[in-house]
Amino acid sequence: MTVLHRAVYQHSELVRLFNPKSIAVFGASTNPASFGARTIANMARYEGAIYRINPRYDKIGDAPCYASIAACPTVPDCAVLSVPREAVETAVLECAKAGVGGVVVFASGYVETGIPERAAEQARLTAIARETGIKIIGPNTIGFVNFHCSAMVSFASAELAVKKPQGPGVGVVSQSGAVGFSLGQAEHRGMNLSHVLTFGNGADINIADQIAYLAGDANCSAIACLFEGMSDPMQLLEAGELARKANKPVVICKLGLGQEAATAAMSHTGSLTGSTDAYMALFERAGFIIVPNVERLLETAAFFAKAPQRPSSRGVAAIGGSGGALIAATDAAEAHGVPMPQPPEDMKQRLRPLVPEFGALRNPCDMTAMITKDNAMFGNAIEAMLLGDTYGAIVAPQASLSQGNVERRRGASVVGARLQKPICMPFIGGWIGGPGAEEAEADPNFQWFNSVDACYAAIAAWHHRDDLRIELEKNGPRKLVRLSAPDAKARAAGLIAAAKNKTLTEREAKEVLACYGVPVVGEKLVQSADEAVSAAQALGLPNVAMVMKVESPDIPHKTEAGVIRLNLKTVDDVKAAYSAVMANANKYNAKARINGVLVQPMAPSGTEIMVGAKIDPMFGPLIVAGLGGVLVELLKDTALDLAPVTPAEAKAMLGRLKARAALTGFRGSEPVDQDKLADVIVRLSEFADDQKDIIEELDVNPLICAGSRIVAVDALIVRK
């Protein structure tokens, strides 16, 4: 179902909840195993006031216990509801009436049960939040952690120290409470964390709201988001814009990557657009940094928390005492497209006294085992390479952890602080907790990774994020400029409504697309072999070869049915083709409704491209492009974006294709005018956006492209 859009909550609307000066705990108890008691125990280091609420007690230990929220000395900023599901709604209303900033609902048994009555209970919580303004985390939530005020607002036994970070903090937002809190344990290995935020069922506050909150929090320098899905994913665009304006990088990992092909899809498009593709397009549009797995999430976010907002140079150097580790680094750099230019002569002069003659005075710079003789040599060599404009970052792979490495890193940290360039230290050994590991992770001047691949992937993402910033500075905020005619929407909608069947015929579909300025091949519909001959001659036979294909709403894919004939050059060819395609149509589906046979001029050869659109109930119109023809579903080499797209976004889609070389004149073929092709993609995306309320799918396959000559020779539109 289509979800009504709600604007994301701003930081100021959530600050009382996530940075509370006082917390009330409903369900406080003398039973240490109860969720209320465990929550209070977890807040042993909390700097604010804790109010215990339970009408059964006057005191719990030496602390006073209050009968209600109204009896508390002051109105708390946050209330934790450690009460049964049946008591939650009353407690939320009590908190709203008292003016509490927000509540955390631990109770489960709501919409996750699949029971309609329980879903209705959750919906009432949502309604209370909307009507009263109180903010709700949960239900079915594990809670949250704010490390800066030492607030672990949770019953979880997560073994968190809840230490204040000593450097730029990473804020974690996780849809999974258990995994989110386990990520919080990275503080034990030295990582600087500012928050761990979860939200359970998300009756009110969701993942986009929590990203928006962290975007405005001064203690958070980068956001790590563990994401599964949401009912209104377009809210992420708003959250992403808030994060961009606040210079807060958002690193996101999507769980549940299985493709969900459209049910009973009529077109190629339906089987090529899955929810994962749509989410990835949304993340890219929102400016998020995408990582492929949970293991990459925190180390990438920590890199962005510590690194300068912009690289001073795109060149990256590698240095160390292990030749094997440096080779691994070079391979990873090439795999991720990170440039590793060679040092200029003046840099070599600075390095020469530090690198033995049997080392490698180049990039990567192999200082050999001689690096262990003088701990200061490592920092001096890093400084020699980072001075000047050649390198904006340096990678120093750590082949092992030792006390000697600890001393060498301390010297390098001083250099990093002075030059303000990332010093990346991917560790490739097995002793994760060896000497100095925790110190290096916490050091604001080091970027610590568990593999060279993760290191260079993060650097490549850093460069890509800077590309987006450069594009924004050059062109300003994203602007949609309509290419199609002002009356295209109305004319096309009229043609779609007039079609007799849910699936428009090729001829009807191309007539619709022509309203948007999409170039389509001419054609005539005939009912007999003699009419086919006359039509072919009118269209240019024998000087122009013909194509014939059956028109039927019940045969959407003509190649599979054998109802297409190509390269017909004579009258006899046309007559024979008519008989053959009609016979195959009846053989393929004896009950198929056949309108006749289309006769078309055969388009000159060229690169075949498929462009399609699908209307998704959550994402709205999606546009997909890729290599076309009969192998489109086999190759699955496509790029997807949210429609409508700009010309630059359409060209970027083409640039993401694995077979993009096919557009540039591969093996002597004529190069495709990619600006012209992008123009067609934009027009088709405008069609999808205009008609999203009345169509389900669009499939244009193929567009035959040669130079600036681009023509749609087949199309399919499925009406809602």
Measured torsion, CA atoms of residues 305, 308, 313, 315, in degrees rounded to the nearest 10? -30
Q: Is 596 strand, coil or helix?
A: strand
pLDDT computed for residue 661 by the predictor: 85
pTM of the model: 0.90
In this predicted model, what pLDDT tens digit does every residue of 154-209 receive, in sequence order?
999 878 989 888 889 999 999 989 999 999 999 999 999 999 999 999 999 999 99
Q: Averaged over 662-676, what is the pLDDT?
A: 86
Q: Of 246-255, 499-508, 643-652, 662-671, give the lowest mean pLDDT range.
A: 662-671
- State which amino acid sits at residue 403: Q
Residue 516 pLDDT exceeds 50: yes
N-term to C-term CA, the chain: 14
Please, are residues 711 and 603 in contact by the beta-carbon 8 Å criterion?
A: yes
d(CA 43, CA 420): 37
Q: DSSP letter for 29, please.
A: -
Q: At a CB cut-off of 8 Å and minimum separation 6, what does 172 contact? A: 180, 183, 184, 193, 195, 196, 197, 223, 224, 225, 226, 298, 301
pLDDT computed for residue 682 by the predictor: 98
d(CA 229, CA 630): 33
Domains of the chain: 11-304 (3.40.50.720), 308-475 (3.40.50.261), 522-601 (3.30.1490.20), 607-719 (3.30.470.20)
Please, are residues 68 and 94 in contact by the beta-carbon 8 Å criterion?
A: yes
Residue 630 pLDDT exceeds 90: no
Q: Averaged over 268-291, what is the pLDDT?
A: 79
Starting at the edge strand that comes first in sequence, how are the strands of the sheet with 446-449 ordered? 365-366, 316-320, 393-395, 423-426, 446-449
pLDDT computed for residue 268 by the predictor: 43
Please, are residues 492 and 690 in contact by the beta-carbon 8 Å criterion?
A: yes
Residue 272 pLDDT exceeds 60: no
Please, are residues 80 and 143 in contact by the beta-carbon 8 Å criterion?
A: yes
d(CA 559, CA 553): 14
Helix (H) or strand (E) holding 409: helix 403-419
In this predicted model, what pLDDT tens digit does every residue of 89-99 receive, in sequence order?
999 999 999 99
Q: Averaged over 620-644, what is the pLDDT?
A: 83
In this predicted model, what pLDDT tens digit does every residue of 489-498 receive, in sequence order?
999 999 999 9
Q: Averaged over 67-73, what is the pLDDT?
A: 96
d(CA 539, CA 21): 80
Q: What is the number of H-type helices and E-type strands within the chain? A: 24, 29
Using H for helix, E for strand and C for coil, what is the string for 377-394?
HHHHHHHHHHCCCCCCEE
pLDDT computed for residue 665 by the predictor: 80
Alpha helices in 185-267 (DSSP H): 207-215, 235-245
d(CA 660, CA 379): 43
Q: Sorting pLDDT into bands at 50, 70 and 90, what band is 258?
A: low
Q: Averaged over 101-129, what is the pLDDT?
A: 96
d(CA 375, CA 445): 18
Mean pLDDT, the chain, as a whole number? 92
Q: Averaged over 5-25, what is the pLDDT?
A: 95
- State which amino acid sits at residue 449: F
120-to-11, 110, 115, 337 alpha-carbon distances in Å: 29, 8, 9, 51
Residue 270 pLDDT exceeds 70: no
Q: Sorting pLDDT into bands at 50, 70 and 90, what band is 343?
A: very high
* Sign of the torsion formed by the C-alpha atoms of 602, 603, 606 and 610: negative
What are the strands, taking DSSP E only, across 315-399? 316-320, 365-366, 393-395
Please, are residues 408 and 319 in contact by the beta-carbon 8 Å criterion?
A: no
The tally of CA atoms less than 13 A away on the side-chain side of residue 384 is 26
Return the structure tokens found at 283.
């993340």
The tally of CA atoms less than 13 A away on the side-chain side of residue 688 is 30
What are the strands, taking DSSP E only, across 198-268? 220-227, 250-254
Using H for helix, E for strand and C for coil, what is the string for 347-370?
HHHHHCCCCCCCCECCCCEECCHH
d(CA 459, CA 590): 59
Q: Of 253-262, 331-340, 569-578, give the lowest mean pLDDT range.
A: 253-262
Closest by Cα among 221, 137, 128, 148 to 175: 137
Residue 574 pLDDT exceeds 60: yes
d(CA 541, CA 481): 41
Q: Sorting pLDDT into bands at 50, 70 and 90, what band is 632?
A: low
Return the structure tokens found at 326.
């440096």
In this predicted model, what pLDDT tens digit does every residue of 227-237 receive, in sequence order?
988 888 999 99
In this predicted model, what pLDDT tens digit does every residue of 421-466 receive, in sequence order?
999 999 888 777 788 888 889 999 999 999 999 999 999 999 999 9
Q: At a CB cut-off of 8 Å and minimum separation 6, what does 161 contact? A: 187, 188
Please, are residues 106 and 138 in contact by the beta-carbon 8 Å criterion?
A: yes
d(CA 281, CA 291): 14
In this predicted model, what pLDDT tens digit does every residue of 385-407 receive, in sequence order?
999 999 999 999 988 887 878 88
pLDDT computed for residue 444 by the predictor: 92
Q: Is 494 exposed, middle or buried (0-12, 13-18, 19+ CB in 10 A)?
A: exposed
Strand pairing category for 49-53 and 22-26? parallel
Q: Averaged over 43-63, what is the pLDDT?
A: 95
pLDDT computed for residue 286 by the predictor: 96
Please, are residues 519 and 467 in contact by the beta-carbon 8 Å criterion?
A: no
Q: Is the peptide bond before 139 cis (omega within 30 degrees of 0)?
A: yes
- State which amino acid sits at residue 398: Q
In this predicted model, what pLDDT tens digit does every residue of 290-299 receive, in sequence order?
999 999 999 9
664-to-47, 201, 675 alpha-carbon distances in Å: 63, 49, 12
Q: Sorting pLDDT into bands at 50, 70 and 90, what band is 276?
A: confident
